[in-house]
Amino acid sequence: MLSKIHTAGLLGINAFHVCCETDIGDGLPGIILIGSLSGEVKEAADRVKTAIKNSKYSFYPRKIVINLSPAEIKKEGCGYDLPIAISILEALGTVKSNILNKSLFVGELSLSGELLPIRGILPIVMFAKENGFENVFLPYDNLAEANIVTGIKNFGIKNLKDLIEILNGEKTYSENIQIQIPETKEYSDFSDVNGQILLKRAVQIAVAGRHNILFIGPAGTGKSMIAKRIPGIMPNMSDEEALEVSKIYSVCGLLNSNEPVLKIRPYRDPHHSVSPQALSGGGRIPKPGEISLAHKGVLFLDELAEFKTNTIEVLRQPMENKTVRIARVNASIEYPADFMLVAATNPCKCGYYPDRSKCSCNEAQVRKYLSRISKPLLDRIDITVETSLIRYEELKGDFKNISSEEIKNYIEKVRQIQLNRYKDYGFSYNSEIPAGLINKFCNLKKSDDIFLSDLYEMKKMSVRGLHKILKVARTVADFNEHKEIEHDDICEAISYRSLEDKYW
């Protein structure tokens, strides 16, 4: 008898349809799995056979051929155990149900017949809904995550025996789980930060326009401390953004029943020893890397000059295109990577330049150290700001610093200005202005145009560097409530790139 059961696999952060076909007939007894399968999928034959036996169901040894189509896409992971088991049992006549062709099955089986949770449930359930399936049968531990998607019936199953009885009408399914939306995480507050007025101003400009920013200065000047507070002043994620980010975390297995959806912007801070693959994504079974896990949030790279050159260079393409493309022989996988880069570095190996009472590095050593950060990468960083040692009076003084909530409220106003300006153009932030629209949205007075033209020729800037100045100037103008870019706005934007001359 021939059986067909529907399931889904993962390709990147999206799911694709897989049809599990089973034929039982005469021949040498055994289970034959075909359809471009990885090792863990081939191992499903023994897992499924043992799980069926331990669920108190048995069948005579027969020749069982199972095909997972389409054959041109490699199947990976353990989520195919459940559809294989149901397909075999339907072919044997053990399972009889009229909802099988409207349902999608996914899950890993233990040898005892228990269903184990798998990664990527969220994109699989979204795929099922978009493609007209009415029911999804999945592991109980994945149910909270699946229930984020409404408009489709999700069945959280604990073991294979229960599922068979539910499909045969011998048992009624009852859902006894509720979605627990996590409380908003409390970030450290900017009101705790004394001093560093210029740095805090630059951070607010960067967040308001979604500009990449680099901190450079001696050790112990608060670079990491301020970076950790940046997510707390970023605008809240929309429901659409939260679902998009949650899909990435679902594929990586980073969601659970207590946190089935992310409601706060991600903050990722990989160590400088991270490999290029861990940063960009990939692997034998391709998974998103730190770049994609920071999607719609902050990627903080502390000690940027300590990263291997081939590691940080993988940032260049994602910073421009907002995606990471992983090429494979049989497929090309694309992960979203729309992040705000926040980086920090010491000016030299010892970390104290230009303080000659502590630093003995000469100019050549400083340049050699910072040369690990290439000019093409620097060109993609909109704002570079210098930090300085905090005076004792600033550290101990009782200051009434502006809070993160106050900063966030003002940034929301600046963001709304951008949303209104670009509502017909398909982008939202000043940093995203395409080259063809720079002159339209970053128009300068004639005197400022001549001023910037002279600077461009004198400094031998790249076109990208020039455009970065104009985009930052547009954000500064919005921040200063200027309808058009004023001279002070353009000067402030230029000052945020002046450190390249000093250090590089």
Same domain assignment for residues 373 and 466 = yes
Question: Which stretch of DSSP H or E encloses residue 103?
Answer: strand 103-105
Same domain assignment for residues 25 and 147 = yes
Identify the CA nearest to 35 among candidates 1, 84, 82.
84
Instruction: Calculate helix-pair angle for 463-479, 197-209, nearest 10 degrees.
Output: 100
In sequence order, what are the beta bridge partners of 66? Answer: 22, 33
Q: How confident is the model at residue 299 (pLDDT cuts 50, 70, 90)?
A: very high
Same domain assignment for residues 209 and 325 = yes
Is residue 474 included in any domain, yes or no? Answer: yes
Mean pLDDT, to the nearest integer, of 357-378? 87
Reply yes or no on whether the pLDDT at 364 is more than 90.
no
Q: How confident is the model at residue 94 (pLDDT cuts 50, 70, 90)?
A: very high
Q: Can you give the pLDDT at residue 500?
A: 74
Task: Please tell me the distance from the alpha carbon of residue 481 to that of residue 476, in angstroms, as a whole number.
Answer: 8
Reply yes or no on whether the pLDDT at 89 is more than 90.
yes
Mean pLDDT, to the nearest integer, of 332-341? 92
First to last CA, the chain: 72
Q: Could you report the per-residue pLDDT of 20-36, keeping only the tens digit for each?
A: 999 999 888 999 999 99
Is residue 172 included in any domain, yes or no? Answer: no
Structure tokens at 483: 């309808």
Mean pLDDT, to the nearest integer, of 428-450? 93
Q: How confident is the model at residue 349 (pLDDT cuts 50, 70, 90)?
A: confident
Place of tokens 């309808």: 483
Q: Residue 497 belongs to a domain with what CATH number?
A: 3.40.50.300
Mean pLDDT, to the nearest integer, of 141-146? 93
Same domain assignment for residues 149 and 207 = no
Show Cβ contacts of residue 18 under 8 Å, excluding neighbours closer than 6 positions: 6, 7, 8, 9, 68, 69, 70, 75, 80, 83
Same domain assignment for residues 124 and 210 = no
Same domain assignment for residues 203 and 141 = no
Same domain assignment for residues 313 and 379 = yes
Query: What is the total count of domains within the chain?
Result: 2
Reply yes or no on whether the pLDDT at 177 is more than 60.
no
Q: What does pTM read for this prediction? A: 0.88
Q: How confident is the model at residue 9 (pLDDT cuts 50, 70, 90)?
A: very high
Place of tokens 């991600």: 266
Structure tokens at 398: 């009782």
Place of tokens 């903080």: 300
Is residue 83 included in any domain, yes or no? Answer: yes
- Please confirm whether the linkage preceding 354 is cis (ω < 30° from 0): yes
Mean pLDDT, to the nearest integer, of 343-362? 85
Same domain assignment for residues 486 and 454 = yes
Q: How confident is the model at residue 178 (pLDDT cuts 50, 70, 90)?
A: low
Same domain assignment for residues 359 and 449 = yes
Question: In terms of residues, how long is the chain?
Answer: 504
Task: Please tell me the distance from the alpha carbon of residue 429 to that of residue 338, in angstroms, as a whole number.
Answer: 12
Q: Can you give the pLDDT at residue 298?
A: 96
Is residue 350 included in any domain, yes or no? Answer: yes
Is residue 180 included in any domain, yes or no? Answer: no
Q: What is the DSSP string of 441-454?
A: HS---HHHHHHHHH
Structural domain of 132: 2-167
Q: Which of 132, 167, 202 marks a domain boundary?
A: 167
Q: How far is CA 399 from CA 193, 195, 224, 396, in A?
A: 9, 9, 21, 9
Is residue 179 included in any domain, yes or no? Answer: no
Reply yes or no on whether the pLDDT at 182 is more than 70.
no
Residues 419/425/426/429 CA torsion (nearest 10 deg): -40
Q: How far is CA 294 from CA 124, 170, 319, 389, 443, in A?
A: 22, 47, 12, 30, 33
Q: Which of 167, 201, 231 marks a domain boundary?
A: 167
Reply yes or no on whether the pLDDT at 4 is more than 60.
yes
Q: Could you report the per-residue pLDDT of 191-206, keeping only the tens digit for each?
A: 888 888 899 999 999 9
Q: What is the mean pLDDT of the chain?
A: 90
Is residue 177 included in any domain, yes or no? Answer: no
Q: Residue 150 belongs to a domain with what CATH number?
A: 3.30.230.10
Question: Which stretch of DSSP H or E encloses residue 340?
Answer: strand 340-345
Is residue 38 included in any domain, yes or no? Answer: yes
Same domain assignment for residues 140 and 205 = no
Mean pLDDT, to the nearest integer, of 314-332? 85
Place of tokens 């997510």: 231
Angle, alpha carbons 83-87-89 (nearest 5°): 120
Q: Can you give the pLDDT at residue 176?
A: 58
Identify the CA nearest to 296 among candidates 219, 346, 235.
235
Same domain assignment for residues 196 and 163 = no
Question: Within 13 Å of residue 154, how many CA atoms lie on the same side as its CB?
Answer: 29
Mean pLDDT, to the nearest integer, of 294-302? 96
Same domain assignment for residues 153 and 215 = no
Q: Which of 152, 167, 182 marks a domain boundary?
A: 167
Mean pLDDT, to the nearest integer, of 138-163? 94
